Chain A
Amino acid sequence: MKLTAPLQRVLRVMIADPSALHYGYDLMKAAKLPSGTLYPMLARLQQDGLVDSEWEAQREDAGGRPPRKFYRLTAEGLRVARLELAQASSPARARRVRHGATRPAPGSTQ
């Protein structure tokens, strides 16, 4: 999985409240992404098992509106997202992790 900037925004929104029901349009607004970017991304995440989707229950006060589908991070998705975002926020550390170096950089430990 390549952590692109839009993907990062989506993961940040979903991680902010992992138990919330994230509807497509709300995700679009929160992550400031167009539907043409968001939905292919969600489909990919779903294929990788990082996100799952469900239909909401039909509400009484819906006023004839059809039920919507919401997305949530799976347990695996939550783990991967936390890891990826942590690495993204400290690029130097991420580089070290990728290169398999285990020795801390000079000055990074007390």
Chain B
Amino acid sequence: MSRTPLVQRIAEWLIRAACRRLPADVRAERCREWAAELPAILDDQSVRLPFLRALRALSFCAGISRTARQLSRSARAGSRRARNSRWRTGAMRLRPPDVAARAVIGFISWLVIVLGVIALARTLHHPPGWLLRLGLALAAGFDAFCLVDIARAAQVRYLPKWAWAIICLIQTPGGGILYLSIGHIGRGRPVPPGEAKP
């Protein structure tokens, strides 16, 4: 076999994406373990059709994604006590200004975008079609980015995931900006348990 088959590369990518949810200390090993099963699935001669083998590999990845979610949930439950104590020891004081600053930055960028759109609409009474289409594409792309981010996040802040998804959709740049500035939990950033929502 000179090169890795496409299905295997897709499946490896899916597994890597799933493993990102896992705690850092087990991530690499789990990723290696699951990726090593792929050649066995794709070369499984008891499944006659290559197409069915590929399907099996992809459904394996779906199961791995569920596994990673479960493992990260139980790991979080295990470390909840440790995190609680960390948040009681002064780190709490850093939180409110941090959130306020993010909200202000979010509001300012939303204002800049809205004012920019209004100014553009005033200067061009009849905006050319390509500009409208470009704007729509940008808006749709941004919405899609936010929704994917929400879907892939292990947890989001303050509101449940579905609520953030609706907010992103109904107020197109604003909702997304609000989510990214407040609701999004950055990697490696500890979050007090009361704020994180599934």
Binding site for B on A (CB under 8 A): 23-26, 28-29, 34-40, 43, 63-69
Contacts and interface: CB of A to CB of B under 8 A. Distances in A.
A75 B110 CA distance: 62
B66 interface: yes
B37 A23 contact: yes
B71 A66 contact: no
B32 interface: yes
Nearest to A67: B36
Contacts of B41: 25
B64 interface: yes
B38 to A, nearest CB: 9
A36 B1 contact: no
B60 A35 contact: yes
Given A34-B63, A35-B63, A40-B70, A64 B1 contact: yes
Contacts of B67: 35-36, 39-40, 43
Contacts of B59: 34-35
A87 B33 CA distance: 33
Contacts of A40: 66-67, 70-71
Interface in B16-44: 32-37, 39-41, 44
